[in-house]
């Protein structure tokens, strides 16, 4: 009886969350590779530019915003940073990368990738109500994992005979990676 209740709960939660599980899995995989590939957006235009930049200590957020206007960028300012001799200014649909010494650089214009950008936005969303829904989803995934261990009654494929070894390996592997990476 216990395995039947576990199976039903496991099945129903799995059905209810299938869309979110797949969405989070896909966007999670894409986010793992965001340093080498930006699946959330794609470039539609690149333009070379040359500007006169002041000394690094004079570059402020206001300067970055004004420079965007001078370069005819008319979308929302997000942030700027100076790193490794480069100035990077991010806007909602454009990025400006400039060499601090020469003032040479480029403007990269892009648009959001349909569906994928929405999935990634959902994965990164931090609005209050979504955080609570995400918490419920997290507890549901824990329930799905636990009920999965109870679904198979006694036998050679049960959790007691075989499953605990796989579960232990699944717990140890990420711990080892955390220790050595």
pLDDT value for 1: 56
pLDDT digits (tens, 9 = 90+) for 84-125: 999 999 999 999 999 999 999 999 999 988 888 888 887 777
For the segment 36-56, what is each residue's pLDDT rounded down to a tens digit? 777 878 888 999 999 999 999
Q: Where are the domains of the chain?
A: 2-35+120-180, 41-112
pTM of full prediction above 0.85: no
The number of C-alpha atoms within 13 Å of 43 and in the hemisphere containing its C-beta is: 10
pLDDT tens per residue across span 16-41: 888 888 888 888 888 877 777 778 78
Q: Can you give the pLDDT at residue 39?
A: 80
Name the 3-class secondary structure at 181. coil
Span 6-11, average pLDDT: 84
């Amino acid at each position: 009886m216990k395995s039947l209740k576990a199976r039903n709960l496991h099945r129903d939660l799995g059905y209810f969350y299938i869309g979110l599980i797949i969405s989070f899995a896909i966007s999670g995989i894409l986010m793992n590779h965001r340093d080498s590939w930006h699946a959330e957006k794609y470039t539609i235009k690149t333009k070379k530019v040359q500007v006169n930049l002041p000394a690094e200590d004079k570059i402020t957020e206001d300067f970055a915003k004004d420079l965007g206007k001078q370069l005819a960028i008319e979308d929302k300012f997000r942030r700027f940073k100076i790193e490794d001799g480069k100035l990077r200014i991010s806007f909602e649909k454009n990025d400006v990368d400039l060499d601090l010494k020469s003032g040479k650089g480029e403007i990269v214009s892009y648009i959001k990738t349909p569906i994928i950008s929405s999935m990634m936005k959902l994965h990164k969303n931090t609005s209050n109500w979504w955080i609570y829904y995400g918490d419920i989803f997290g507890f549901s995934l824990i329930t799905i994992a636990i009920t999965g261990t109870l679904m198979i009654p006694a036998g050679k494929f049960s959790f007691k005979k075989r499953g605990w070894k796989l579960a232990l390996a699944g717990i140890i592997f990420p711990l080892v990676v955390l220790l050595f990476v």
